[in-house]
Structure 1
């Protein structure tokens, strides 16, 4: 993607266990594999995106907590991963205290937006080539609609919603969409839903097929064509500190994330063409 400013996608769903972190890790890897310069911003206090990319907890001297409370710049929190062109700003349990730390600050909802903007401006002004110029920033949100998630939505161009193929998939989606609308009205008028990605699909389970049908009928073209299957290799990969695409490129889950990355870039091109028209 050729633009001076990165596209910021927040991966959000207040339900836990829907594949947000897995999608952040593997989508980020897939985008990097096709030539994008990608940053994953880990805002979940559990720090699973950081762990899944092989970042030891002892190596997280500067984290997104430090960035949000104003003790560090974003570039000071960046850690290289084993994936070329993929960087992570790691999280720690300190993020549990962010809300209390900045609750009374007037810009409390914009801390991440300001940090990304400042980094981008410094990178564009850098003539030495030492500052990374990201084309995509993926923000891994915690499984709740708290101030961390609001910061992600305020900083984002679009929201990517992972949705598990299970009975209660649509339950809670309306609450998330309402939150997006509230953020759009009060904090980020340009915020959009980039798409909904169906995860953990089990072709042997009739219910999974019914969920896909229900979600598509309710959300239409917002739902990506690519569906992420339930896959043992994808589940195993984080324990080795690797994205699935490095752990087993040929498995069905890895191939699905490569297709999703391609589909996202195609949507981005259509969006830019529509905006230019």
Structure 2
């Protein structure tokens, strides 16, 4: 379970959650994307309706409804499901404020869902804030995928996010770790982009993927058509980069034993996912 988070907005967070999820699903894995952002941009980008009142993450958090009846299959590719978000979520922080075990609502629902559904990867797309929605995602997750844009103030917000990750790790979720950093909006023609990559590598050498996502008009256009860039313009530079990033991500999980697993309720056995090869994800 991977939470995609960055306190700073406009860094490609939702775009990364959507396209990494699609890339892995296109390779034959089963992926669930949980939209935890009231804006519902991940829901829109994956072709799922999210009009006011559409059941989804809000009902899971507030009413403790099960995920299964509300998860929708995305038209993007087989094996990709979405738990949609609506503007209803904008009031969730306030509604959860005085609720007992409020930070564990999403984890409880996901644990129940994974007892009966074989899912290889769960991506949780968070709002650009550190409220109870993001806390719920961090408590549920195994690791953090952090997109950082190749622009000025690239590390703005990262320090606060790292403090929050550490606090959640100490109090609620000891397994949580910052495992992956993906550089977005990269322009190899500019000195600035190269300097930002070097700066981030200097602090997070082990976590940073070698693949960089270029600044791309096609990546920006795709959500307005309810598509990921991988289906909207599969040969574009952005689509190629996200396929490569998904391949690198899967390879790292396979090599380090961080492959996703599904808990079997009755026997407590763990099924290790069949992680695709780099080539299979690129071809998909």
Using structure 1 for the length normalisation, give the TM-score.
0.90
The answer to whether the aligner puts 1:156 opposite 2:150 as a matched pair is no
Question: How far, CA to CA, are the matches of 1:191 and 1:120 in structure 2?
Answer: 18
Q: Which residue of 2 aligns with 1:134?
A: 119
Match of 2:68 among 59, 75, 88: 75
The answer to whether the aligner puts 1:112 opposite 2:112 as a matched pair is no
**Aligned length in residues:** 258
Quote how far apart the aligned CAs of 1:171 are: 2.1
1:130-184 deviation per Cα after TM superposition (whole angstroms, max 9, x unaligned): xx42110000000001100000000000000000101100122111111101100
SS at match of 1:159: strand
Gaps of 5+ in 2: 260-284
SS at match of 2:148: strand
Match of 1:246 among 231, 234, 241: 231
Match of 1:64 among 52, 57, 61: 57
Gaps of 5+ in 1: 1-7, 124-131
Alignment of 1:74-113 (within 5 A): 74-82=67-75, 83-113=77-107
Question: How far, CA to CA, are the matches of 1:60 and 1:81 in structure 2?
Answer: 19
SS at match of 2:34: strand
Q: Which residue of 1 aligns with 2:6?
A: 13
Alignment of 1:195-210 (within 5 A): 195-210=180-195
Q: Which residue of 1 aligns with 2:262?
A: none
Q: Which residue of 1 aligns with 2:22?
A: 29
Is this contact kept in 2: 1:29–1:243, CA < 8 A? Answer: yes
1:3-24 deviation per Cα after TM superposition (whole angstroms, max 9, x unaligned): xxxxx00000010000011011
After superposing the two structures, state which structure 1 stretch, 59-68 or 167-176, moved more: 59-68
Q: Which residue of 1 aligns with 2:165?
A: 180
Is this contact kept in 1: 2:64–2:109, CA < 8 A? Answer: no
Quote how far apart the aligned CAs of 1:120 are: 1.3
Using structure 2 for the length normalisation, give the TM-score.
0.88
RMSD (CA atoms): 1.5
Quote how far apart the aligned CAs of 1:61 are: 2.3
Quote how far apart the aligned CAs of 1:60 are: 6.2
Alignment of 1:228-267 (within 5 A): 228-267=213-252
